[in-house]
Structure formats: structure tokens, C-alpha cells
Structure 1
């Protein structure tokens, strides 16, 4: 499997995971119909990638390859019809979100590096790719975006670690498919550990306890 094919597969898996996450979040937290569930699922799945591509100055991948939108719709549809069953699993939304975040940050950082952006800019764009769709979803649901919440369990930290790993390794000329996989695994493991042990970033002095 070529590097480009591997990156495409990771991107599509991330889109599917985020579509499930967005739709299940909509079902759990808001009174929405099928239009709302599908819309929030698709927005969560492709929102970050669209923001990234606009900042990179390229046509969003979603508008060039039909597989992106179809994958997002498939994930949202599955979540709509199986929401009751999926909701009974152990913390499915958080795991889907962690998977989508992990895959998206490495894809975003890799794409930025390929287009000649610097290491810092590529890391930031990787994080934006991972958190952008979920942030739009949370705003539409009238919630504090997860990435900004004091009780987010290090949401931005794993994203930065995953994107940063890909960028640093690429700077040393080792940019290959395995780098994206390792970066995604690193982000996912840190995120899951933060959820398991309830790690949070420091809050301002005097802030009320969580």
C-alpha cells in the first residue's frame, strides 16, 4: 500500500468515526430530527478538513472526492438508525471522538508539510483539522467547545502531540506512512489515558473546582 493510499484510508476512517461521534452527540444532547442528526454528523466529520484546506489555499478535499461526503453520510446514517444500540456501549462517543481526532491531526499536519508549510504552522493546522468539526458542532448545540472546556481531559494536548510528532519526524526526512500511523496511535493513547484517569490541563488560579 502506497503512502498516499494509506493516508486516504486513515482520512476516511477518521471521517467515519467523527460522523458517528457527531451524530451520537446530537442524539444524546439535543432534541433533533433526522436532518439535525445527519447535519451535525457530517459537519463534525468534514468541518475541520474544510477549514484546513481553506487556510492552505486549496480546494477542500470534500469537494474533489465523492468518497469523503459519502463516508460522512454513511457514518451519520449508521448512528441515526443504531443510536440506541451504540449508546449502550461503553463510552462510545468518547472513543469515536478520540479515533477521529487522532486520525485527523496527523492527516492535517502531513498535508500542510507536503504543501511546504513550516513545522509550527503544520502542527497548528493539524490541530485545527482535528478539533474544527467538533467545535462547529458544539457551537451549533450551544455548548462550550470541547477543546476549550476545563473538563476536556487534555483534548488539545493529545492533538498537539500527534501533529507535532508527525511534523518533527518529517523535518528529519522520515516522512512516510508509518509516521502517520504512529502519530495517530500516540494521540489516541494519550487521549484515552486522559479520559481513563481524568487528566485535565491546569485551570486559572481561583477557578471553581471541576
Structure 2
């Protein structure tokens, strides 16, 4: 289940990256769109794996590249429909951070790191690809805004650790934690929730 969820996360993040590039009128350069999708998909997981001292999974498994290619293909085929609704980019990004938070956390725990360090690595897995994507399309990364973004990842990861401590079945734990990340993020977007603003001294 973990493996397939990781591939699904790669796929939806590829759509997120390709949509962001297309939205910035980069569609004349298919390589630019594809490369943005690629780094969005593998950026967070690669950073996590480098911190853990292991080889990134996509290097040894061609299915990850196939998932990215499929994500770009879906974006090209349905771009008009996606871009007609401006929230499509945010939707695919939200799905991506939900999957990647839990997958990154799982992999960190498998390497024997402290649970709260695993929470941080889960967050890094989820948001780092988006940070690179936003910088590539000349946007301020969402993590540097007041939006509920990384906070949603931390909440989902913390729930996973708590349920794991209580002995909840791993598959149900993963589903519940992913749903929490997605629910917090989408609810915050819909209701306009944001983090407190820090006044200049």
C-alpha cells in the first residue's frame, strides 16, 4: 500500500507542477513543463532520502518516471478543464502533500529515526517539491506565506504518530492521517484561515 500511495503522490504532484508551469505560460516549452513536473514530484522525497543517507527511490524504479510522464500527459490532455477552475492547482498540490506527508514519515520511521524527527521529514517530503516548483515559476513558496500549509502536514504526521502509539492498524492509520492533511488544507482554503501575522517591531 505504501508503495502504491507513493506512486499516486508522484502522479498528482506531477500534475501540480505541470499545471503551475502551464499557468505561467510555459506551454510553448514542453521540456520546461515536464521538468517542472519532475522536480515537483521528486524534490521532497529526494531531499528526505539524502537526509536519511539513502539513494532516492526514483533512481532505481522506472515506475516513478512513468508516473511523472503520465501526470504530464494528463495535464496536457485536460489542461483547459483544469485551468478553467483556478483551484485545480491547489487541489492537486493538496492531494500531493497528503500522500507525501505520510509516505515520508513512514520511510523515516523505517530508518529508525526518532518519531518527532520523522514528523519533520514527512513535512519535508510533502512541501519541498512545491517550494522548488514555486521558485521555478517565480512565485513566493506557499510555506513562506501565512497559509495553512506546512501546519496541515505537521498535524497529519502527528496524528499518525499518535495512532501508531495506540496500536491502530497501519493501513487505517495512513488513510486517517492523509485525510486529515487534505481536510485541514482544503478547509483552510475555503474559509480563508491563515496563521497569525507578525507585526514589525
**1:86-136, CA deviations, whole angstroms, 9 ceiling, x for partnerless residues?**
212462111111100000000001111111000111000000000011111
Residue in structure 1 matched with residue 188 of structure 2 by the alignment = 194
Residue in structure 2 matched with residue 168 of structure 1 by the alignment = 162
Alpha-carbon RMSD: 1.6
Residue in structure 2 matched with residue 62 of structure 1 by the alignment = 58
**Aligned match for 1:82, one of 78, 82, 92:** 78
TM-score (norm 1): 0.89
> 1:110, 1:166 within 8 Å by CA — same for their partners in 2?
no
Q: 2: distance between equivalents of 1:43 and 1:77?
A: 16
Q: How does 1:1-210 map to 2 (within 5 A)?
A: 6-32=1-27, 33-89=29-85, 91-150=87-146, 153-174=147-168, 176-206=170-200
> 1:30, 1:141 within 8 Å by CA — same for their partners in 2?
no
Number of aligned positions between the proteins: 200
- How much does 1:31 deviate? 3.2
Q: 2: distance between equivalents of 1:16 and 1:160?
A: 22
- How much does 1:80 deviate? 2.5
TM-score (norm 2): 0.93
**1:66-96, CA deviations, whole angstroms, 9 ceiling, x for partnerless residues?**
1111101110122133211221246211111
Q: 1: distance between equivalents of 2:193 and 2:25?
A: 27
> 1:109, 1:126 within 8 Å by CA — same for their partners in 2?
yes
Inter-CA distance 175–57: structure 2 relative to 1 (3 Å threshold): farther
**1:167-199, CA deviations, whole angstroms, 9 ceiling, x for partnerless residues?**
233344446122111100010001010010010
Q: 2: distance between equivalents of 1:141 and 1:113?
A: 33
In structure 2, the gaps of 5 or more residues are none
| Structure 1 ranges of 4+ moved more than 4 A | none
> 2:26, 2:33 within 8 Å by CA — same for their partners in 1?
no
